[in-house]
Chain A
Amino acid sequence: MLGLNKKDATLLGVVAVLVIFAPFILNPFPADSAMAQFNAGYPDLMQRFVIFGIFAVGFNLLFGLTGYLSFGHAAFLGVGSYSAVWMFKLLSMNVIPAILLSMVIAGLFALLIGFISLRRTGIYFSILTLAFAEMSFRLAYSVLTPITNGETGLQLTLEDPRILGQTATENGGIPVTNLFGLEMRSTEVLNLGGWTFQFNNGYYMAGALLLVAFYISIRIFRSPFGMMLRAVKSNQQRMNYTGLNTKPYTLAAFVISGMYAGLAGGLMASMDPLAGAERMQWTASGEVVLMTILGGAGTLIGPVLGAGFIKYFENIFSKINEAVLHSWFHALPDGLENAIVWVLEHFVGSGWHLTLGLLFMLVVTFLPGGLVEGGQRLGRLFGRKKDAEEKTATQSTPAE
């Protein structure tokens, strides 16, 4: 199917099913139950899952295949966001031109940085990419404020020209991003018993693009081009000795990967038309590295899992506060309740970073292959050795 072998087609199918039914899968608890805190099925977070999924899949095309560890990938995401917002400001609120432009600009930016940085390998390459990204961030935050609006982030205003659209709506608001009239932010709500499920246009558009991105990534992994990149990873020197110039291949991988980041950036701006400079900071670049390694570098589904894992903690755990903890344990005797709350509050709310750090250490120590390996182990545990990868997908995602 679609030029994929059976195993890959199944994997793509599983991902498609997960994306389509995410609003159900991520909302396993009734909205007024105490566990509703763990529900992740609201538009903003679902959008973030798929957008960072795209970002990580793209990063993995470079890192997983060639072994080149870019520490400045967030720069491409940031540039993509800025391009998209400028498109909304100048042209129209339709997301198609914005996303196209963000991919093109990010691709060009990646071509430039890749061309220079790929002259070096190993950690020298990593530091070069880091240097370019940090420069972009710092300049965007200060000197380039006329283009980037600095600290606040580039946003839409009521004075933007929007030559193909309208400057302001009839009731004096800023028009919203849309796909030929289909508003990105509009959400259908389905109430089913105690459950509330939200279906958001923007999410489904981003989800569709994730599937496309994922499909292309599978094709690249299985193509002769992908084979070549893997050869670069295992021994670049030998490749060079055989008289083959590997640079065009690595540069192509770098640019494709940068365009994935640009797509993610453009999508972020399409869902929420604001582009902040922090998107380009080294911590953001580090985050996508962590997502990929955490999920399992070099695997197809790993980066998506890693992205979901980190975003889940950032958005769900940080919101659990003392009052929520007390409401969970109020049935217990007072002393015990306070003791449990006292222990747990170190790990949630403002302590969410601590939990994340501990989990990084635990996962990488005990699951050298990342979350994907965890899934495979679970798969083996249940005695179904075949389709281990597929198992991974179904086993791990609902836990997000």
Chain B
Amino acid sequence: MTNKLTRRGLLKTGAVGGAGLALPTIFTTGAHAFTNEPSGGTVTLGFNVPQSGPYADEGADELRAYMLAVEHLNGEGDGGMLNTFSSKVLEGNGILGKKVEYVTGDTQTKSDAARASAKSMIEKDGAIMITGGSSSGVAVAVQSLCQEAGVIFMAGLTHSNDTTGKDKKANGFRHFFNAYMSGAALAPVLAKTYGTDRKAYHLTADYTWGWTQEESIVAATEALGWETVQTVKTPLSATDFSSYITPVLQTDADVLILNHYGGNMVNSLTNAVQFGLREKVVNGKNFEIVVPLFSRLMARGAGENVKGILGSTNWHWSLQDEGSQAFVKSFGTKYGFPPSQAAHTCYVQTLLYADAVARAGSFNPCAVGEALEGFEFDGMGNGPTLYRAEDHQCFKDVLVVRGKENPTSEFDLLEVVEVTPVGQVTYAPDHPMFAGGALGSCNPGA
């Protein structure tokens, strides 16, 4: 290191030699071609996951997946999905020969805290990419921060249409599926299983994700002949859903759709079963409950109540394709239990980012974004997948699952009913549910 006093604005040079120091340069001008250009032999990724609050367990699972991905990128461990990934540019020597390092932070599942944490990764630790999160509010907030700061954001678990709809950003990419896809995949299975003459009652978490899911499911089921009796918003803070469940009994609805996630889902499902909804017969048909977005981690909290309930999920560890098996094997060997869908999407996002950098030959967010746009790949557990250029959403098969009747272990809660082919869940980029936003242009910072 030099001891000379160097002012970036004056000399327009970084005084950082090859010292292996990742210098935080957010929002500064000059010197670097883009924000946090890695210098030296390492590159830093920022894993921003919920470590406190209701989604802390999901965050912990995401972190496990990230650490596994870093291992594999650096050539340690068994390589996992690197062996099955259709693109072969990653060689297990880090990214572009730079060893991958990482920093972690706590989003607390609050947009403010998540942005603070992401900012500290960018400003203090020199992170070149931010990824993670377990809710859509956080994903959208952090995505717009990354756009402003000029780093890439690889979304974690976020299911709202808005993330790649009206709040899409050029620097943000989502591998996880969305509410529209859930509806498109689920509705035909619902119609096949429960018939096309059904009356649905929706309970919906009263915030943006809940609304987009309700809208998507209502549209998809009505298209197949279902009638929507009522849609009721429930407060996010609700813990006891009894006063929302009993009115269902007063209507002639014969299906209850729970647009809830996490603790809300566990409680509303448990309460619905308590009130005997599943034993009820309405209009000569068995009353049914549907949970459009299933999370295996969360479903454990509802125990026996999930048995036989239909829903959709991004990925499940019991999939038999090569990629899924490789991932489950390395994750299971390292941690002793199978990965969740959140872990899967985070692992894949990290690999996809690394691969895009390697193909672009640069860490520049604009080059990376270009490499990801329109990228087609396979071997990552979801079949052939496209990262669509128009909205940075991955298009791939969607799983329709059902709560398993006779689980063989505490992890064996869901069984795959149908793998809905990608064609059936694809929509036009200007679909009304996704309209209203623009990607804008990519921002390399600096």
Contact = CB atoms under 8 A, between A and B. Distances in A.
Direct A–B contact present (CB less than 8 angstroms): yes
Interface of A: 31-32, 39, 42-45, 48, 138, 141-143, 145, 150-153, 155, 157-158, 168, 171-174, 176, 183, 185-194, 196, 198, 272, 274, 276, 278-279, 314-315, 318-319, 321, 323, 349-350, 352-353
A59 to B, nearest CB: 18
A276 B112 CA distance: 6
B16 interface: yes
List of 8 A-B pairs having minimum Cβ-Cβ separation, nearest first: A172-B441, A350-B51, A151-B137, A151-B207, A44-B119, A276-B111, A42-B124, A142-B206
Interface in B391-446: 437-438, 440-441, 443
A145 B206 CA distance: 10
Interface stretch (B2-10, B266-274, B275-283): B2-10
Given A150-B208, A352-B52, 17 more contacts: A32-B21, A45-B120, A141-B207, A142-B236, A145-B207, A152-B141, A153-B111, A153-B141, A173-B148, A186-B29, A187-B27, A272-B119, A274-B144, A276-B141, A319-B121, A321-B104, A350-B56
Contact of A138 (B15, B23, B115, B235): B235
Contacts of B145: 272, 274
B311 interface: no
Contacts of B103: 319, 321
A88 to B, nearest CB: 13
Contacts of B233: 142
Given A189-B25, A278-B110, A173 B51 contact: no
A143 B120 CA distance: 32
B431 to A, nearest CB: 19
Contacts of A321: 63, 103-104
B115 to A, nearest CB: 6
Contacts of B51: 318, 349-350
Contacts, number: 168
A188 B124 contact: no
A157 B140 CA distance: 12
A152 B6 contact: no
A279 B112 contact: yes
Interface string B163-201: 000010000000000000000000000000000000000
Contacts of A319: 103-106, 117, 120-121
5 contacts: A185-B148, A192-B3, A196-B24, A278-B110, A323-B102
B120 to A, nearest CB: 6
Interface of B: 1-3, 5-9, 14-16, 19-21, 23-29, 51-52, 56, 59-60, 63, 67, 102-106, 110-113, 115-117, 119-121, 123-124, 135-137, 140-141, 144-145, 147-148, 162, 167, 206-209, 233, 235-237, 437-438, 440-441, 443
Contacts of B105: 318-319
B440 A173 contact: yes
Contacts of B141: 152-153, 155, 274, 276
A157 B147 CA distance: 12
Contacts of B209: 151
Contact of B117 (A272, A276, A318): A318
A157 B371 CA distance: 25
Contacts of A138: 235, 237
Contacts of A193: 1, 3
B24 A198 contact: yes
A138 B437 CA distance: 26
Given A141-B207, A141-B236, A142-B236, A174 B119 contact: no
Most buried by B among A39, A45, A172, A189: A189
A190 B23 CA distance: 11
B115 A318 contact: no
Contacts of A187: 26-28, 123
A186 B63 CA distance: 32
B443 A173 contact: yes
